[in-house]
Structure 1
Amino acid sequence: MGTLSLSDFQDVKIPAPWGHISGRWYGNRRERPILAIHGWLDNLGTFDRLIPLLPDYIGVLCIDLPGHGRSSHIQPGMFYSVLDYVYIIPLIMKEYGWRKVSLLGHSLGGVLSFMYTSLAPHTVDMVISLDKLLPLSIPKESEHMAQKMEKHLVEENRQVGGHLHEPPSYSYTQLCKLLAKGSSGSVTPELAKHLLHRQVTKSQLYPDRFFFSRDGRIKFYNITPLSIGLGEEMARRIQRKPYLIIKGSKSIHLPLDLCKGTMSILGQNNPHYEFYELEGTHHIHLHAAEECARYIVPFIRHHRPPVLTSWSLAGKEAELSLTEKPKEQEKYLAMIRNNPSKL
């Protein structure tokens, strides 16, 4: 077996009441893929370095959340919320007719994965969460929310008159530095290209300059913080679900002292729970993709192994059809069923 190719994808547009959700479906498109959800202010390009390390027998559908990347912005007068983002998961499941979903989420994507799994655990077969688990309350939460509400209204007023002029534009080098600064150094200027290619538009006024095309209102979205007690109660609903969590050692986004109760419940009597802390920052999957893949790939192989009807086995089945030895066919098929890892 090989790994996925970053060039083997199909661009998709998933219809939504406010427009569409953009995505890229990598690899196998005949079977239900893993649904990959990026973090706040990012887009599906965040998985660019991880995708080529994943096994090629399974597909991965990476999406841009509303207001991010190339997905539609919500209507004027509305605001972005974590709770609303959770409903993106069943919307996509309904579009493709999935009864189950496998989730891979970074940061905000990890939060959405946790919240959806706790609400509908019977529809989730595995979760991979990268450097985030749940949104926790912070000191002076009400004051923080009030400030975001005011800034949201300012941004919306700016957008109303936005058709009269372009947003501030920058050179590509400046954009890389701005993105790195905005991520507090978690994304280096060298890695910024993976995120910029889906969230900037070329200026019509200034040659060789670009501006951010994502919805400015997402900077002030409602994070809907959870109390520690509520987070733990939600974790109890997940029960013995295959759950892999990877934390960046230099990141503040998965505070172990505050999340230890929730994580303990996830792992209680659960042989399918795994936690690893790797050297790195919040975007651990982007700057340390190989290290993350060391744990993600075996987890996927164990909980979403290749099946006999998979496209990755088509060549093997064709070879069997050429032989005239039925007993050898039966023996070979049994070996595939019992030891898929040997393929």
Structure 2
Amino acid sequence: MGLFSELKLAVPWGHIAAKAWGPQQGHPVLCLHGWLDNANSFDQLIPLLPKDFHYIAMDFGGHGLSSHYSPGFPYYHQNFVSEIRRVVAALKWNRFSLLGHSFGGTVGGMFSCIFPEMVDKLILLDSSPFALDSNEMENMLTYKRRAIEHTLQVEASKKPSSVVSPEEMLRGFLKNNSHVSEECGKLLLQRGTTRVATGLVLNRDRRIAWPEHSFDFVSREFFAQSVKKLQARVLLIKAIQGFYDVRRENDTNKEPLLFTVDTLKSVLKERFQFVEVPGNHYVHMNQPQQVASVISSFLQSKDRVPARL
């Protein structure tokens, strides 16, 4: 399972890059990375998972080795959800499991509610099927305005991407991502940067700046109604030292998580499993053994919910 192959899947604006592990005839699992991360975020975890599954970790558009969106085409949450549909169409998958970390979990969660017949299992790593508005209602319009202004500003700017030394790049990355170990930082930068003559440049699209610009924050009523559509079994793994809030400002407030867990439990009943593990937001990279056995048991459980006729 240490071996993997690289894929390039055609989309109208270029390609989606992905990494594949395991036998093609194995049950498919699509792995979705977090905000500003890339497919390498699963390199430590997938070798510890069952060998008879077929895992594909994709780079969302504008991340990793995937093409940037065309000028004028914004990075909205719905577009990332659409990317999943494009990828599985290219792979000819009709039914598969989803494994999403952080932002990848909210994108995968929305996909699983919109296309419930396609997803048999949904695994959320320190994530939620949707981002709850909780304390965000008054900020929504501000976020939308900032997102539009930032996109226009970057598109108008002729400034080339910053070139920095590998050491400086790693230092800056670890400063902005306090939950990532140095080893894992190097792994993400390996796929997230390109070497040029004088150093490294980031691969990601500069129009992608803040998660709140691309998250679709939803009301509790919308959340409760949407999860009723799920046909998947759902495993939510919460890292005890992980994040609770997208913007990190209200990070001690665990009430939205409790609402999420209670709602999923109430709606899905025995199809929902909640597990807390020691570790931080990047536990799947820093200490993958903490989550590997839980995920493996969940993937191997035979009580897959049959597709509705």
TM-score (norm 1): 0.80
Answer yes or no: is the 8 Å Cα contact 2:98–2:122 preserved in 1: yes
2:173 matched to 1:182? no
Shift in Å, 1:256: 4.0
In structure 1, the residue matched to 2:217 is 225
Alignment of 1:130-141 (within 5 A): 130-133=125-128, 134-137=130-133, 138=136, 139-141=138-140
Alpha-carbon displacement from aligned partner over 1:274-310 (angstroms, at most 9, x marks no partner):
11122222112111211011211111111499xxxxx
Answer yes or no: is the 8 Å Cα contact 1:232–1:261 preserved in 2: no
In structure 2, the residue matched to 1:295 is 294
> Residue 132 of structure 2 aligns to which amino acid in structure 1?
L
In structure 2, the residue matched to 1:86 is 81
In the superposition, relative to structure 1, how do residues 127 and 25 fare at CA in structure 2: closer, same or farther (>3 Å)? same
Alignment of 1:154-173 (within 5 A): 154-158=153-157, 161-162=158-159, 166-173=160-167
In the superposition, relative to structure 1, how do residues 304 and 109 fare at CA in structure 2: closer, same or farther (>3 Å)? farther
Aligned equivalents of 1:261, 1:229: Cα separation in 2: 11
Identity, % of aligned positions: 29
In structure 1, the residue matched to 2:110 is 115
In structure 1, the residue matched to 2:202 is 212
Aligned equivalents of 1:238, 1:265: Cα separation in 2: 12
RMSD: 1.9
In structure 1, the residue matched to 2:307 is none
SS in structure 1 opposite 2:150? helix
In structure 2, the residue matched to 1:250 is 241
- Specify every segment of 5 or more residues in structure 1 that has no aligned partner in the other structure, as ranges: 306-343
In structure 2, the residue matched to 1:333 is none
Question: Which of 62, 69, 83 pairs up with 2:64?
Answer: 69
Aligned equivalents of 2:275, 2:294: Cα separation in 1: 8
Aligned equivalents of 2:274, 2:29: Cα separation in 1: 20
Question: Which of 210, 229, 250 pairs up with 1:237?
Answer: 229
Alpha-carbon displacement from aligned partner over 1:100-152 (angstroms, at most 9, x marks no partner):
12100001110011101111212111011111112122252322332232222
> Residue 246 of structure 1 aligns to which amino acid in structure 2?
I
In structure 2, the residue matched to 1:60 is 55
Shift in Å, 1:32: 4.1
2:192 matched to 1:199? yes
Answer yes or no: is the 8 Å Cα contact 2:106–2:127 preserved in 1: yes
Larger strand share, 1 or 2 = 2
Larger CA deviation: 273-282 vs 140-149:
140-149
Answer yes or no: is the 8 Å Cα contact 2:33–2:104 preserved in 1: yes
2:98 matched to 1:103? yes
Shift in Å, 1:16: 0.5
Alpha-carbon displacement from aligned partner over 1:239-290 (angstroms, at most 9, x marks no partner):
5x31111112222336641133332232235223111122222112111211
Aligned equivalents of 2:31, 2:71: Cα separation in 1: 27
Answer yes or no: is the 8 Å Cα contact 1:176–1:190 preserved in 2: no
Answer yes or no: is the 8 Å Cα contact 1:33–1:61 preserved in 2: yes
> Residue 299 of structure 1 aligns to which amino acid in structure 2?
F
In structure 2, the residue matched to 1:336 is none
2:32 matched to 1:15? no
In the superposition, relative to structure 1, how do residues 210 and 261 fare at CA in structure 2: closer, same or farther (>3 Å)? same
> Residue 262 of structure 1 aligns to which amino acid in structure 2?
T
> Residue 182 of structure 1 aligns to which amino acid in structure 2?
N
In the superposition, relative to structure 1, how do residues 304 and 236 fare at CA in structure 2: closer, same or farther (>3 Å)? closer
Aligned equivalents of 2:303, 2:236: Cα separation in 1: 17
Shift in Å, 1:87: 1.0
In structure 2, the residue matched to 1:320 is none
Number of corresponding residues: 290
Answer yes or no: is the 8 Å Cα contact 2:49–2:293 preserved in 1: no
> Residue 135 of structure 1 aligns to which amino acid in structure 2?
A
Answer yes or no: is the 8 Å Cα contact 2:27–2:52 preserved in 1: no
Alignment of 1:292-331 (within 5 A): 292-303=291-302
> Residue 252 of structure 1 aligns to which amino acid in structure 2?
F
Aligned equivalents of 2:223, 2:106: Cα separation in 1: 11
In the superposition, relative to structure 1, how do residues 303 and 243 fare at CA in structure 2: closer, same or farther (>3 Å)? farther
Shift in Å, 1:80: 0.1
Aligned equivalents of 1:256, 1:238: Cα separation in 2: 24
